[in-house]
Amino acid sequence: MFRELNLQQDNCVYVVEHDNQTIHFAAEELVRYLGVVSNCIITLKIVEKYDNRENGLWVGLSNDFLATTFTSSEQNPYDDEIMIDVSHGNGWVTGVNPRSVLLSVYRFLFELGCRWVRPGVDGEYLPHTDFRSFTINVQERASYRYRGICIEGAVGVEHITEMIDWMAKVGFNSYFIQFREAYHFFERWYSHLNNPHKSPTEDFDVESARTYVAAAKHEIQKRGMIYQAVGHGWTCAPFGIQGLSWEKWEEEIDPEIIPFFAQVNGKRELWEGIPINTELCYSKPEARSKMVKEIELYASLHPEVDLLHVWLSDGSNNQCECERCILETPSDLYIKLMNELDMALTNRGLGTRIVFLIYHELMWPPENERIVNPDRFVLQFAPITRTYRQSFASIGSVPDVPTFVRNKLDLPQAVEGNVSYLKAWGNHFQGDSFDFDYHFMWAHQKDPGYLQIAKVLYEDILHLEQLDLNGFVSCQVQRSFFPNGLPMSVMARTLWNKELSFSHMAEDYFISAYGRDGMACLEYAMKLSELYYELNLDQTSDRQEIDSKLLFSNVNSLIHQFETVIEKNSKQDNLCHASSWKYIKLHAGIWQELNHGLELLDGEDVVQAQRVWEDVKNSVWHIEDSCHQVFDVHNFVGVFDQVFSAKRFEGRMEG
Residues that bind Zn ion (CB under 5 A): 281, 283, 320, 322, 325
Neighbours of 145 (CB within 10 A): 21
User: Burial of 363 by CB count in 10 Å (0-12 exposed, 13-18 middle, 19+ buried)?
Assistant: buried
- In the complex, the smallest distance separating the C-beta of residue 642 from Zn ion, rounded to whole angstroms, is 35
Q: How far is the CB of 638 from Zn ion (least distance, A)?
A: 35
Question: What is d(CA 426, CA 127) in angstroms, rounded to the nearest whole number?
Answer: 47
Cβ atoms of 363 and 421 within 8 Å: the answer is yes
The residue (of 325 and 506) whose beta carbon lies closer to Zn ion is 325
* Measured CA distances, 279 to 48, 355, 363, 531 (Å): 55, 18, 16, 43
Q: In the bound complex, what is the minimum distance in angstroms from residue 82's beta carbon to Zn ion?
A: 51
According to the 3-state scheme, what is the secondary structure of 130-195? CHHHCEEEEEEECCCCEEEEEEECCCCHHHHHHHHHHHHHHCCCEEEEEECCCHHHHHHHHCCCCC
**Amino acid symbol at 353:** R
**What minimum distance in Å lies between the beta carbon of 404 and Zn ion?**
16
Cα 486 from Cα 578, distance rounded (Å): 17
Give the angle subtended at the CA of 347 by the CAs of 342 and 348, to the nearest 5°: 100
Report, in Å, the least distance between residue 315 CB and Zn ion: 15
- HEC secondary structure over 204-226: CCHHHHHHHHHHHHHHHHHCCCE
Q: In angstroms, what is the minimal distance from the CB of 231 to Zn ion?
A: 23
Nearer to Zn ion, 38 or 319 (CB): 319
Separation between Cα atoms, residue 60 and residue 219, nearest integer Å:
20
Provide, rounded to whole angstroms, the least separation between the CB of residue 582 and Zn ion.
Answer: 56
**How buried is 158 (Cβ within 10 angstroms: 0-12 exposed, 13-18 middle, 19+ buried)?**
middle
Q: Which is nearer to Zn ion, 319 or 420 (CB)?
A: 319
Q: Least distance in Å: CB of 281 to Zn ion?
A: 3
Residues contacting residue 461 through CB under 8 Å, at least 6 positions apart: 144, 472, 491, 494, 495, 498
For 315, the 3-state DSSP assignment is coil
The type of residue at 157 is: V
**CB nearer to Zn ion: pick between 320 and 506:** 320
Q: How far apart are CA 556 and CA 593, in angstroms?
A: 9
Cβ(376)–Cβ(336) below 8 Å: no
Closer residue to Zn ion, CB minimum distance, 307 or 320 = 320
Q: How far is the CB of 279 from Zn ion (least distance, A)?
A: 9
Phi, psi at residue 156, to the nearest 5°?
A: -95, 165
Cβ proximity to Zn ion: between 406 and 652 the closer is: 406
Nearer residue to Zn ion within complex by CB, 93 or 320: 320
Nearer to Zn ion, 122 or 279 (CB): 279
Q: What minimum distance in Å lies between the beta carbon of 325 and Zn ion?
A: 3
Helix/strand/coil for 640: helix
Q: How far is the CB of 324 from Zn ion (least distance, A)?
A: 6
β partners of residue 150: 176, 475
Nearest to 404 by CA among 333, 329, 337: 329
CB of 321 to Zn ion, least distance (A): 7
Which of 253/393 has CB closer to Zn ion? 253
Which burial class, exposed, middle or buried, applies to 313 when counting CB atoms under 10 A from its CB (0-12, 13-18, 19+)? buried
Q: Which is nearer to Zn ion, 185 or 234 (CB)?
A: 234
Tell me the Ramachandran region of residue 130: left when phi exceeds 0, alpha when psi lies from -120 to 50, beta otherwise: beta
For Zn ion, give the closer residue by CB, 136 or 409.
Answer: 409
Q: How far apart are CA 35 and CA 472, in angstroms?
A: 35
Minimum gap (Å) between residue 323 Cβ and Zn ion: 8
Q: Based on CB atoms, which residue is closest to Zn ion, 324 or 549?
A: 324
**Which residue number, 325 or 537, has a Cβ lying nearer to Zn ion?**
325
Q: How far apart are the first and last CA of the chain?
A: 63
